Structure 1
Amino acid sequence: MIKGGVQLSGKSKSSPKFVSMMTSVAIAGSMLLPAIASPAYAERGVVDLWKSIKPLATIASAMNTGAHPDDEHSAVLAYLSLGKGVNTFSVIANRGEGGQNEIGSELGNPLGIIRTRELQEASKITNVTLGMLSEQINDPIFDFGFSKSVEETLQHWGESFAYERLIRKIREDRPDVIIPSFLNEDSTHGHHRTINVLTVRAYKDAADPNVFPEQLKNGLQPWQVKKLYLPADAKKYNVMVPVGDYDNIYGASYVQLGEESRFMHKSQGMGRVVDEGPSGNYYTLESSTVKSNDKEASFFDGIAFTFADLAKEVETKGKDNKITKDLQLLQKDSEEVIKAYPNFTEVAREVHEMKKDVQNALADVKSSSLDQAVKDDLLYRLNVKDAQLNKASMEATSLVVKVKPDTGELVAGQTAKVVVSAFNGGDVDLRSIQLNLNVPQGWEAKAAGPVSFDSIGKNQTVSVTYNVTVPKDAAEFKPYAAPNLTADVTYKAFDTSSTVRAVPQNAVAVLPAYAMSLSPSATVFNTLKSDEAIPVKVTVRNYTPGASKASISLNLPEGWTAEPSVEEVSFASKGETKSVSFTVKGSSNVATGKYSITAVAKNENVQSNEGVQVISYPHIGTTYLIQPAELKIQAFDLAVPQNLKVGYVSSGFDNIDEYLRQVGVNVVKLDDKAIQFGDLSQYDTIVLGIRAYAFRPELIPSNQRLLDYVKNGGNLVVQYHKPEDKWKPELAPYPIKIGEPLIKWRVTDENSKVTMLAPDHPIFNYPNKITNADWDSWIQDRSAYNPAQWGEEYTKMISNGDPGEQEFTGTFLSAPYGKGVYTYSSIVWYREIPNLVPGSIRMFVNMISQKQSESN
């Protein structure tokens, strides 16, 4: 959780047992999203206290690298961070924009935002500092979809670009041990393989000053990781991590804690229930700068793990005995902190004693005669410890800090009130309290009262209200940027100062004065019916404070018209929405191609042409994506039979039905009652959405009803499934077995050659004549989870494969069954159709028109 909105680098919660918080001072190099509030839970104090003091006795660090959110080795991260107190980093390449979505229809950047927030929440649970190589929306390190090779991945990302980001993270975080999540194997996702290749290279290159020397000019120093480990198995390994060990303070094993974090990846269906009992994760030592044995007790054999170990290393340098004594004292301090647990006041006393000694050690190291590289290492580790002590002090003193704006939705030029408060819930008197609000450059923050206080006693609160003015040219909200409002609360306990950095409970966003959404947001202009108008509804949300007025108009392609040309809207208050309707007509001769219509809102002060997509789920809170208020149009010829009625069984992962309605198909979404008891014969076609058998529990027991529907003359279209989606070959009228491993049964090159094996089949001829051109301009993939075996009754519609690989012929199968037709397709329609790929829409219309083709 976020206690009082305190921004911490890796702690949260997912269930009452595992409540935690984010870190008090961000260590250099961490890239986090704005924190989102979690509810308070009853069981938290002593567990949070333990989480904050456990790292104080450990000076070692480890980094786990992965490609996508949910790639992290969660159980090992929990073991290292929560179990051993290791300073633990998770570095992920991209935001997962190319993945699937099991909780909604968001894809692309909106899905990337969801998955990033899920990753942040997961990282809090394991108390891990999260780093992202992808730094902004549409970053070059983008999840462009499934890849089978390192070469293709680096071609998209830019090899030097991605590698510079990884080297920079290593030099910022200075891990002792680094562990890529995957091996470079042919059966592995190309993105996973790429992170392995880059991590293995970076193990040495991060220490080479000639690699990206510009980083050194900007203050970073080369860093030699001491050990590189790769994933292994029980047959051959160097170290086994006992993730099944049960920790009685957390009331769970590290596997269970890791899975607790994985449950946050809800959009990917992650997380599993694990029983108690011994288990281990295995790793091989790929490279090392220290002497190692064949079998090791831990990743840190031969590496300084405690202050005592560090003192021995410094002692061997033979240059400064004072530093050795400082480190030995810190070893004693850390032991005293742990010994004082769970007495909050005594822990606070020992924490502040240790903090004083850390400050002394920092001063001594700076003035010492040690080699510069040794000094840099000591200063980094001591500064990490100082930040951890700030967090431990906050927990031990039971200090609750909050930053509460009167609104989290701002517009440029607005003034808002922000209250910064500090509550003392413990028995330690806190003195010399300073409440400072930090705002971006160009913003103004004026305190309406005193910001300094002599003391806060038990159960007392001090606060200050700031009047914050957003400049007229303020940058709009960016979902991957650091919070734009933070507060630094400084206080003294036991005569030693400590600082807590806090953030608001929810994201504070600068949004357009008027946010517009166009309905539809993407549509087809049918050149066979060029005289038909496009109805466009513009919904406008007022984000300006109070009442306002605006005129709404459309920017149109040349020669197009809209009626009316402009509409006026009036708002009584902030947050109110109004809708206006336009009738848009194309020019006299609209050519095949892409077109765009954008909405504009104007008044005497501002002009807006953007929309705000609010992304909100209980497990990640609310965030925003600002993008152009645009209607994308694809013009092409499309024949659609009249009076075609389709029943659509949605799995919740696609919105193909919406696009079918736009082109004139009568589509009815079928609920569970309709599937189990309704009259299915009224539908010319029934379509099952992707993976529907997994997410519509009524389908398996109703499958015979669907097959009878086909046998009696219906047309059933089934989109792709995974074997784990409860798919069984006998669900189809003639068996269809999906190929495994799934990673090998897909076509990832959207430009790969497609051969139509049955060009005379009705699917390729009615009502639209399909040609080779209809396979052009596809995006991301061709197909996923292709069948490996199928009954001879099916007609193989296409042959297609990635270049240099054997082609699949089970991607698109269709067979007569009784009086009807059954079609199974692994083509990724759910990506192509919302992106208005003409050939995909023409073929889908043909698929759902097979009943009509019989009479034509």
Structure 2
Amino acid sequence: MKRLIVIFFLVPVYVFSQQQPDASRIHQRLKKLGVLTSVLYMAAHPDDENTRVITHFANDRLATTAYLSLTRGDGGQNLIGPEMRDQLGVLRTQELLAARRIDGGQQFFTRANDFGFSKSPKETFKIWGEEEILSDVVTIIRQYQPDVIITRFPPDERAGHGHHTASAILAEKGFEAAARADQYPDQARELGAWQVKRLYTNTGRWWNTSINENTPGVVTLPVGGYSPLLGMSYTEIAAISRSQHRSQGFGSAGTRGDQPEYLEYVRGQRAEKDLFEGINTTWTRLQGGERIQPLVDKLIASFRHEAPAESVPALLQIRQEMLKLSPSVWRDRKLDEVEQLVQDCLGLYVEATANTYQSAAGQSVRTTLELVNRSSTTVSIVRIVARGLGFDSTCSVPLKNNMLVNIKTTKTIKTREFSSPYWLSEPHSIGRFTVQDPRLIGQAENPPAISVSVLYNVGGQVITITRPLIYKWTDPSRGELSRPFQVVPPVVVTLSSTVLIFPDTTSRTINVTLVATGNGTVQGGLRLEAPAGWKITPNSIPFKLTFRDEEQVVSFRVSPSSVEETQTLKAFAVVDKAGTFDRSMQNIQYDHIPTQTLLPHAEARLVRVALKKNGSVVGYIKGAGDDIPTALRVMGYDVLELKLEEITADNLRRLDAVVLGIRAWNTQERLKFYMPILLQYVEQGGALITQYNTSGGVDASLLAPYPLTISRDRVTEEDAVVTILKPDHRVMQTPNKITQADFSGWVQERGLYFPNPWDQRYEAILSMNDTGESPAKNGSLLVAQYGSGYFVYTGLSFFRELPEGVPGAYRLFANLVSLGKKPAAPVARKGSKRKKQK
């Protein structure tokens, strides 16, 4: 069982079409076969890792290298789309895996949920559960067995984020605990204790500007080397890797030439000049390994790039010697490497494809197994196993040089586990995911929904190749594409909105869409379930779907409770002879990651709240990606989503208000050229609501009517006390009277990147602060009358609160949007826009 766990951790699952490595990369992997040492890099979030260091160790030093990210980045922002929270965590997980496919590292996670910015490790540990996450860290250390751990951050306030600091603290505690059998003893009995040789910190220039290669006790890494085998410098590779973090805007330019990284001692044995000092990095670290080292050295020396298959006999000899060794992480790790090298040297292509990208248990799927041996070496297939399809067959299929073999079958899907991220299969807390199967802790993603294993004979040895079942198609503009095959419910159920606002007791129609996921008839009844005080009519609606992807839309009438409250509406499809299914489907599709399928429960937030609004048509200008347009429609507005070239006086004249998406100033570089038109619209009585931006590259003097400066002020406690500084201001009174109660139930944070300072013509409406900080965070909501209208700048996190159905956030946002409906009397504008800031 131990080896299975190790394999899950160490073998990446490639869901894009296979790419056969060229001979130079095979040569590099042969050299790596002779190196037995490992490094674990550790930090808090996706994009925290230093890809220069990971690339250096994985490709220059040829060490087994991995990155442990404590979280999946669920609490961050998204520059490329609308995904937030759990969905963003899935996207950023895949971006990390894309980065590791480039820099050669492996990827681990703990169960910690990124709940948003944290100002202290104390808060972080309180929300995460320090013992639980430390247990995960120790599990990963004991399974992976690194010789060296490197942290990205120091264990104090210099790290700049509570999660960052916590990652360094957990690294130190994990270093100590993993070596003690009395720490997590059940885990230690299964995995064994593990003593890491040393722990160092990869010092950042932002907290230590004076560090250099002459600093006492510092180990310098020359990460800027060039690889003739790869044809790139390691820093060029690292830049491509880092650029996979597209959702965070971390595109990086490659660099060349000598470049250092600095490591500072934390725990364990000190190193004088090299991080691997005192560590046996050869096969002689294993009992019996002395027989293997000369075989590997000879193989590397004799490798011919134009004839990789000539190395297969030597690889098989090495494999045979490996099998004689006692089981260990290194034996199993290198056994996987040598088996992959045999396949690569043979040019052996194995791919399993399905005729569809998804189907349900009990339904049939047509599969094709494509096999090609692109060498003159004798190879034959002896067995094919696909347990998820109930297929297990012995055979004798010779694979002749470059002769394509296709094996086609039609089988019934046996597995009943849905293809949804394992850490999202159960409800989770703010701080930690629920993972029922402890074997999954640490894994980056689910094992494939269905795998096909091919056992082949070469040189008298039987080797297994396992491939995920995928779906392939050809796009006219992009060529051949693929995505993972998914096991899904026979019918998925989607409510028309995930948040349903009821401003009074009037009932409303709710549409529900049912979609069949497989062939064959699926029929039954759909029902909605609401809590006491809410009424649903009718009780159930019959449905019948007869072919894949067929949709049926049904309508229910929902009558709200007479009291203001927030509840949950649930949808259930009762399928004849198959059971009850309550899953919707969400797909995350970008060209830099495999398509991801999420199957959350078919639910919607029912919000009964006294909500009034003025106006009817709102314009929205896209920023980094938020779901504000959906929220505005839920409130009853017609939303016109404007491209920049559509910002004209005629178009704006139709609108009661205009909303800028989050970070619009950051992402829409040409927006500054359209601001005169927008400000003229405000001057004539409109309302312009500007959501938060970051200060990088922003000249606020071109984007606002009066000067303001964006700072890093933020309030991370979602329940922080809010003081209403201007209770009589129109924005607090019309059309909804805003009180302290409207700031209850907020999620993740109050707001971020508040302006500070600002021109005196802005009025600060609210004041708030985190525990222990001075009550000076007054820039969360600034309102300035400009001509007959209003300009609003707000760092309040409406982009998080509105999709979560927070009642008070809806009421306050309705007031902001309503500012432009009844223009105030014009005010004389005296002096320059750039009047002295306070």
Give TM class, smaller chain: 0.7 to 0.9
Most deviating of 510-519 and 278-287: 278-287
Amino acid at match of 1:640: K
Q: 1:571 to 1:652 in 2, by over 3 A?
A: farther
Alignment partner of 1:596 is 2:568: yes
1:302 aligns with 2:281: no
Judged with a 3 Å threshold, the aligned counterparts in structure 2 of structure 1 residues 603 and 61 are, in CA distance, closer, same or farther, namely closer
1:627 and 1:173, CA in 2 relative to 1: closer, same or farther beyond 3 A? same
Deviations for 1:424-454, whole angstroms, at most 9, x for unmatched residues? 01232224x33332425xx62254xx5333x
SS at match of 2:137: helix
Equivalent residue, structure 2, for 1:55: 32
> Aligned partner of 1:132: which letter?
F
Residues 1:545 and 2:545 aligned together: no
**SS of residue in 2 equivalent to 1:222:** coil
Deviations 1:773-829 (A, max 9, x none): 111111001111122211121111111111001231122111122232211111111
Residue 39 of structure 1 and its aligned partner are, at CA, apart by 7.3
Pick one of 229, 248, 254 that aligns with 1:268.
Answer: 248
Paired residues of 1:411 and 1:511 also in contact (CA < 8 A): yes
Q: Are 2:299 and 2:311, in contact at CA under 8 Å, matched by a contact in 1?
A: no
SS in 2 for 1:504: strand
Q: Which residue of 2 aligns with 1:837?
A: 806
Deviation at 1:359, TM superposition (A): 3.0
Q: Which residue, 452, 470, 495 being the options, matches 2:396?
A: 452
Q: Give the 3 Å change call, closer, same or farther, for CA 663–784 of structure 1 in structure 2.
A: same
Supply the RMSD in Å over aligned alpha carbons. Answer: 2.6
- Is 1:581 matched up with 2:555? yes
Q: Quick check: 1:400 aligned with 2:379?
A: no
Q: State the match for 2:339 in structure 1.
A: 390
* Structure 1 counterpart SS, 2:509: strand
3-state SS in 2 of match to 1:724: coil
Aligned equivalent of 1:214, options 186, 196, 203: 186
CA distance in 1, matches of 2:522, 2:766: 57
Per-residue deviation at 1:652? 5.0
The farther-off stretch of 612-621 and 829-838 is 612-621
Corresponding residue SS for 2:244: coil
State which of 718, 727, 731 in structure 1 corresponds to 2:690.
718
Identity of aligned residues (%): 28
Aligned equivalents of 2:339, 2:51: Cα separation in 1: 26
Q: Where in structure 2 are there 5+ consecutive unaligned residues?
A: 206-210, 422-444, 471-482, 826-838
1:77 is aligned to 54
Q: Aligned in 2, Cα 1:844/1:423: closer, same or farther, shift over 3 Å? A: same
Cα distance change of structure 1 residues 616 and 39 upon mapping to structure 2, 3 Å threshold: farther
Is residue 88 of structure 2 the alignment partner of residue 105 of structure 1?
no
Change (3 A) 1:382 1:658: closer
**1:39-65 deviation line (CA, Å, top 9, x unaligned):** 76xx95224423532311211111111
Structure 1 unaligned spans of 5+: 1-23, 135-140, 315-322, 367-375
- Measured after TM superposition, the shift of residue 33 of structure 1 is 8.2
| Distance in 2 between residues matched to 1:150 and 1:830, nearest whole Å | 26
Question: C-alpha displacement at 1:678, in angstroms?
Answer: 4.3
8 Å contact kept, 1:548–1:571: yes
Match of residue 416 from structure 1 = 365
Task: String of CA shifts for 1:704-763, please: whole Å, max 9, x gaps.
Answer: 222222223322111110112534344211111112xx3xx2111001111111111111
User: Aligned pair in 2 of structure 1 residues 70, 256: CA closer, same or farther (>3 Å)?
Assistant: same
Pairs within 5 Å for 1:30-45? 30=9, 35-38=14-17, 44-45=21-22
Q: CA deviation at 1:35?
A: 4.0
Which of residues 124, 129, 133 is equivalent to 1:153?
124
Question: In 2, are the aligned partners of 1:446 and 1:466 still within 8 Å (CA)?
Answer: no
Contact 2:523–2:576 under 8 Å retained in 1: no
| Counterpart among 503, 519, 522 of residue 526 in structure 1 | 503
> Is residue 244–residue 279 contact of structure 1 (8 Å, CA) maintained in 2?
yes
Code of the residue aligned with 2:467 in structure 1: it is A
Within 2, Cα distance between the matches of 1:551 and 1:568? 4
Contact 1:345-1:397 within 8 A present in 2 as well:
yes
Kindly provide the amino acid, as one letter, of the partner of residue 755 in structure 2. Answer: P
Contact 1:57 1:334 in 2 (8 A): no
Residues 21-32 of structure 1: matches in 2 within 5 Å? Answer: 27-28=6-7, 30=9
How far apart are residue 177 of structure 1 and its match? 0.8
Counterparts of 1:256-295 in structure 2, within 5 Å, are 256-289=236-269, 292-293=271-272
CA distance in 1, matches of 2:133, 2:10: 16
Please give the alpha-carbon distance, in whole angstroms, between the structure 2 residues aligned to 1:762 and 1:493: 80
Q: Counterparts in 2 of 1:388-537, with a 5 A limit?
A: 388-431=337-380, 433-439=381-387, 444-447=390-393, 450-453=394-397, 455-462=398-405, 464-465=407-408, 468-471=411-414, 474-479=416-421, 480-505=445-470, 506-527=483-504, 530-531=505-506, 533-537=507-511
Q: How far 1:697 moved relative to its partner? A: 3.6
The yes-or-no answer on 1:358 pairing with 2:322 is yes
Partners of 2:542 and 2:289 lie apart in 1 by: 75
Q: Is the 8 A contact 1:747 1:781 kept in 2?
A: yes
Task: Verify the 8 A CA contact 1:336 1:350 in the aligned structure 2.
Answer: no
Letter in 2 for 1:265: H
Helix, strand or coil for the counterpart of 1:541? Answer: strand
Assess if the C-alpha contact under 8 Å between 1:62 and 1:87 holds in 2: yes
How far 1:466 sits from its partner (Å)? 5.3
8 Å CA contact 1:181, 1:230 repeated in 2 = yes
> Aligned residue for 2:115?
144
Please give the TM-score of this superposition, normalised by the length of structure 1: 0.86
Task: Specify whether residues 216 and 563 from structure 1 end up closer, same or farther in structure 2 by C-alpha distance, changes over 3 A only.
Answer: closer
Given the alignment, which residue of 657, 661, 677 partners 2:629? Answer: 657
Asked if structure 1 preserves the Cα contact closer than 8 Å seen for 2:40 and 2:148, the reply is yes
Contact 2:493-2:515 at 8 Å conserved across structures: yes
Give the residue type in structure 2 aligned to 1:404: T
Contact 1:341 1:347 in 2 (8 A): no
1:190 aligns with 2:162: yes
Q: Deviation per CA, 1:655-704, whole angstroms, max 9, x where unpaired? A: 21222222223332222222156442332321111101222343111122
- Structure 2 counterpart of 1:336, from 270, 293, 301: 301
| Deviation of the 1:274 alpha carbon | 2.4
In structure 1, distance between residues paired with 2:417 and 2:49: 33
CA contact (8 A) 2:675 2:702 kept: no
Q: CA deviation at 1:390?
A: 0.7
Instruction: Give the Cα–Cα distance (whole angstroms) in 1 for the partners of residues 30 and 576 of structure 2.
Output: 57
| Residue 821 in structure 1 maps to residue 790 in structure 2 | yes
> Which moves more between the two structures, 196-205 or 676-685?
676-685
Cα distance between partner residues in 2 of 1:849 and 1:345:
73
CA contact (8 A) 2:530 2:569 kept: yes
Which of these residues, 798, 818, 832, is aligned with residue 766 of structure 2? 798
Q: Offset at 1:493? A: 3.3
Q: Determine the C-alpha separation between the residues in 2 that align with 1:38 and 1:121.
A: 14
Displacement of 1:239 after TM fit?
1.8
Return the alpha-carbon distance in structure 2 between the equivalents of residues 683 and 67 of structure 1: 44
1 CA distance for matches of 2:289 and 2:242? 42
Which range is displaced more, 780-789 or 563-572? 563-572
